[in-house]
């Protein structure tokens, strides 16, 4: 590896989970990094997220390339999490996922997902009512358990982002709160655009669009049923809801709308989330609502992110869709490898020029 003094300067645009991970990885490997983030952290997609590191239960039949990419990143998560927790940040909030269904159609859909995962040899296991009840006594008896995945985890997205920024700063990255509108004005040798759904504003030739997701945070009260210990994913009459444990409650998400850059939290969105979450976990009715927010998933035409070089000076790390947290370690390694001149074979499917 070249000496740190040989390494160039890099501007990383975007202070969410992807930009902060890239900044950390590059700074730790001797690059002179400036991380530009939006002044208001609450506008970051990462701040709104549920924090599931869930490649299998987020998978969809036919999206094998995305699952392969996700699994490559999943393998890096245990060490990634351990390093984030070294400085006293607690990031992991749950281990294991359960997938449960409300009606026959939901059961059939979940069976289709499970069959595809089983065919690939993935670690999904059928889940009986008795097992589900033993694991999560608060689930509604009417819900029908379908499968579980023991290897998935959930992290506190906000604690993770703060830990990442701490690590980036400790490794020598300079953190600047400023919106960047013009890449040509930056003095750094190299630029990594990790601006989530705003990436297309800086690199219009790349196709990343925002897909809105509304989410709620709920806090347990003294007499409420305890929150689930696992990530619970409910398929409720054709809609999807997830309950992601937090030490004091849970995150419930998320709606999915093509609404441009609108981040209004709507009455209809919250109604649907609450109805589906209560169908899954009736005890939620006693919880306090502490936050309702909307984030913008950065989505590409094939749901696979854009990770790699765009031109001699510019790289991109964006378009991670529903999987920003999960794909962060792989993205950091892939951008480092690209700058080092040794592109990572595991990230080949995410080449940003594949639509050209």
Question: Residues interacting with ligand GLY, by CB under 6 A?
Answer: 50, 52, 213, 253-254, 297, 322
| Other Cβ atoms closer than 10 A to 10 | 24
Give yes or no for a contact between 214 and 251, defined as CB atoms under 8 angstroms apart. Answer: no
Q: Which two tokens stand for residue 127?
A: 């889940």
Q: Which is nearer to ligand GLY, 126 or 260 (CB)?
A: 260
Give yes or no for a contact between 112 and 61, defined as CB atoms under 8 angstroms apart. Answer: yes
Q: Which is nearer to ligand GLY, 50 or 227 (CB)?
A: 50
DSSP 79-123: HHHHHHHTTT---EEEEEEEEEESSHHHHHHHHHHHHHHHHTT--
**Pair type for strands 174-177 and 306-309:** unpaired
Nearest approach, Cβ of 254 to ligand GLY (angstroms)? 4
Nearest approach, Cβ of 196 to ligand GLY (angstroms)? 12
Peptide bond into 48 cis (omega under 30): no
Q: Which is nearer to ligand GLY, 122 or 189 (CB)?
A: 122
Nearest approach, Cβ of 215 to ligand GLY (angstroms)? 7
Q: Which is nearer to ligand GLY, 163 or 327 (CB)?
A: 327
Give yes or no for a contact between 123 and 56, defined as CB atoms under 8 angstroms apart. Answer: yes
Q: Which is nearer to ligand GLY, 114 or 273 (CB)?
A: 273
Give yes or no for a contact between 326 and 97, defined as CB atoms under 8 angstroms apart. Answer: no
Dist CA 105 CA 240 (whole Å): 12
Nearest approach, Cβ of 287 to ligand GLY (angstroms)? 20
Q: Which is nearer to ligand GLY, 7 or 212 (CB)?
A: 212
Nearest approach, Cβ of 253 to ligand GLY (angstroms)? 5
Nearest approach, Cβ of 220 to ligand GLY (angstroms)? 22
């Amino acid at each position: 590896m070249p000496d740190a003094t040989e390494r160039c300067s890099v501007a990383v645009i975007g202070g969410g989970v992807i930009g902060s991970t890239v900044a950390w990885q590059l700074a730790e490997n001797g690059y002179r990094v400036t991380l530009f983030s939006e002044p208001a952290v609450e506008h970051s997609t990462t701040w709104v997220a549920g924090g599931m590191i869930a490649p299998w239960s987020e998978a969809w039949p036919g999206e094998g390339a995305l699952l392969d990419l996700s699994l490559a990143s999943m393998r890096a998560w245990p060490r990634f999490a351990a390093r984030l927790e070294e400085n006293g940040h607690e990031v992991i909030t749950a281990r294991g996922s359960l997938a449960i269904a409300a009606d026959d159609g939901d059961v059939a859909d979940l069976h289709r997902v499970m069959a595809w995962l089983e065919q690939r040899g993935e670690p999904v296991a059928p889940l009986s009512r008795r097992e589900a009840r033993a694991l999560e006594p608060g689930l509604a008896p009417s819900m029908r358990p379908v499968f579980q995945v023991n290897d998935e985890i959930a992290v506190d997205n906000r604690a993770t982002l703060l830990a990442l920024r701490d690590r980036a700063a400790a490794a020598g990255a300079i953190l600047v709160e400023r919106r960047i509108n013009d890449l040509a004005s930056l003095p750094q040798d190299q630029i990594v655009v990790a601006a989530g759904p705003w990436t297309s504003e800086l690199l219009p030739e790349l196709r990343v669009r925002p897909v809105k997701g509304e989410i709620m945070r709920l806090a347990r009260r003294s007499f409420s049923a305890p929150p689930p210990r696992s990530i619970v994913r409910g398929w409720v009459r054709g809609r999807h809801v997830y309950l992601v444990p937090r030490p004091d409650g849970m995150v419930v998400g998320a709606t999915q709308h093509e609404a441009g850059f609108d981040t209004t939290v709507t009455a209809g969105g919250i109604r649907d989330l609450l109805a589906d979450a209560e169908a899954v976990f009736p005890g939620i009715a006693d919880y306090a609502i502490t936050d309702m927010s909307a984030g913008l998933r950065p989505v590409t035409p094939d749901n696979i992110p854009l990770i790699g070089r765009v031109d001699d000076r510019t790289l991109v790390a964006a378009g991670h869709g529903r999987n920003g947290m999960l794909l962060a370690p792989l993205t950091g390694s892939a951008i480092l490898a690209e700058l080092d001149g040794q592109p990572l074979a595991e990230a080949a499917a995410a080449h940003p020029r594949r639509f050209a």
